[in-house]
């Protein structure tokens, strides 16, 4: 369909044979493209079932991922709330322990001083009082030489000093009792707080272990969802160029069908110009029928021609 200068040949310059040849060529191209479109559609249909199945599986596992994520969030919040309670309890427990340590320091100082005094006294207060009384009786009432009287005086002095030290140790010892009681009370309160903390810690650990289990299940479900998503992407990778080829072929078919009427109309005009009524009717019929089969379109006059030849009826 090109002249010697390679420029497109006008339909007005074409012979009937050339027009028919172009019409047949375009028709063959349309038929070939339609076959390719049908083949591509069938190929996509083969993948469509597995695509739908893969998408359903992926969406199913993604829904499970969301469910596990909600459970994990609730479990984490419960664990963190308990941990905040534990943190709130640890502060007073630390304060109690600080008070216990302070009381123990005081207790240790008093005990050290008492033990130091007891080491000087060497005897219990009651024993020293008895010894002092006996020595005092001897000093006052006994008829003893002067040297013995001097020795007795010295012993009384030492016993008196030791007795004073012993009584001071007893006084310090009496201060220890309320300190012991205070420490026991503080320990009791601290133990109660510790037990409460331990109970909460056990509960927190249960939530934590449950959370780890949920995360483990969530990861497994997410892996499944990702696996189906990867397979789905691979299916799309295969079908995408097929879909593009369908669109391209449909566009080509539409373009060819748009091109056909110029040849059909030219062929029809050629038949009309021949002037023979019988030949005109035959040419019009052939042209109208060819146009209808190829493009699916017709004018009112072409419709009348096809109806006259019983190609189209409305019975």
Which tens digit of pLDDT belongs to each residue from 33-70?
A: 999 999 999 888 888 888 899 999 999 999 999 999 99
Task: Tell me the pLDDT tens digit for each residue of 225-282.
Answer: 999 999 999 989 988 999 999 999 999 999 998 888 888 888 887 777 654 444 445 5
Assess if residue 5 is contained within a domain: no
Q: Which of 15-19, 25-29, 151-155 has the highest mean pLDDT?
A: 25-29
More confident residue, 176 or 141: 176
* Number of domains within the chain: 1
Assess if residue 290 is contained within a domain: no
Give the range among 99-113, 116-130, 139-153, 293-307 with minimum mean pLDDT.
293-307
Residue 262 and residue 271: Cα distance in Å, rounded?
14
Residue 293 and residue 287: Cα distance in Å, rounded?
10
Name 227's Cβ contacts closer than 8 Å, sequence gap at least 6.
Answer: none
Is 25's pLDDT higher than 80?
A: yes
Assess if residue 195 is contained within a domain: yes
Residue 228, pLDDT score = 93
Is 177's pLDDT higher than 70?
A: yes
Assess if residue 257 is contained within a domain: yes
82 confidence band (pLDDT: 50, 70, 90): very high
Mean pLDDT (the chain) is: 85
Long-range CB contact pairs, 126-135, < 8 A, 24+ = 128/159, 128/162, 128/163, 128/166, 129/163, 131/159, 132/156, 132/159, 132/160, 132/163, 135/159
Is 3's pLDDT higher than 50?
A: no
Residue 213, pLDDT score = 95
Is 304's pLDDT higher than 80?
A: no
Is the pTM for the entire model greater than 0.75? no
Residue 231, pLDDT score = 93
Domain interval for residue 210: 11-273
Stretch (H or E) spanning 21: helix 16-121
Residue 182 and residue 166: Cα distance in Å, rounded?
25
Assess if residue 307 is contained within a domain: no
Assess if residue 91 is contained within a domain: yes
Assess if residue 27 is contained within a domain: yes
Residue 32 and residue 38: Cα distance in Å, rounded?
10
> Which among 267, 242, 258 is positioned nearest to 30, based on CA atoms?
258
Q: How far is CA 180 from CA 96, 124, 193, in A?
A: 15, 22, 20
């Amino acid at each position: 369909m090109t002249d010697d200068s390679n420029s497109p040949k006008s339909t007005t310059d074409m012979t009937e044979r050339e027009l028919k040849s172009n019409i047949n060529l375009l028709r063959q191209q349309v038929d070939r493209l339609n076959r390719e479109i049908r083949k591509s559609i069938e190929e996509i249909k083969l993948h469509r079932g597995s695509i739908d199945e893969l998408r359903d599986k992926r969406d199913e596992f993604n829904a499970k991922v969301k469910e596990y994520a909600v459970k994990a969030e609730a479990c984490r919040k419960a664990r963190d709330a308990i941990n905040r309670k534990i943190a709130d309890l640890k502060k007073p427990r630390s304060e109690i322990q600080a008070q216990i340590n302070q009381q123990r320091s005081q207790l240790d100082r008093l005990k050290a001083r008492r033990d130091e005094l007891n080491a000087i006294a060497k005897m219990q207060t009651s024993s020293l009082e008895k010894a002092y009384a006996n020595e005092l009786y001897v000093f006052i009432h006994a008829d003893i030489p002067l040297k013995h009287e001097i020795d007795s005086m010295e012993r009384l002095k030492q016993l008196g000093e030791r007795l004073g030290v012993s009584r001071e140790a007893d006084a310090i010892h009496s201060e220890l009792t309320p300190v012991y009681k205070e420490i026991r009370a503080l320990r009791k309160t601290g133990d109660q707080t510790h037990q409460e903390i331990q109970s909460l810690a056990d509960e927190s650990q249960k939530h934590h272990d449950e959370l780890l289990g949920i995360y483990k299940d969530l990861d497994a479900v997410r892996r499944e969802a990702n696996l189906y998503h990867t397979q789905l992407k691979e299916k799309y990778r295969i079908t995408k160029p097929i879909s593009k080829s369908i669109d391209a072929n449909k566009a080509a078919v539409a373009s060819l069908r748009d091109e056909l009427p110029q040849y059909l109309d030219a062929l029809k005009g050629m038949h009309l110009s021949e002037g023979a009524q019988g030949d005109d009717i035959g040419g019009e019929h052939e042209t109208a029928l060819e146009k209808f089969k190829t493009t699916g379109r017709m004018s009112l006059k072409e419709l009348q021609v096809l109806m006259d030849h019983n190609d189209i009826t409305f019975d």
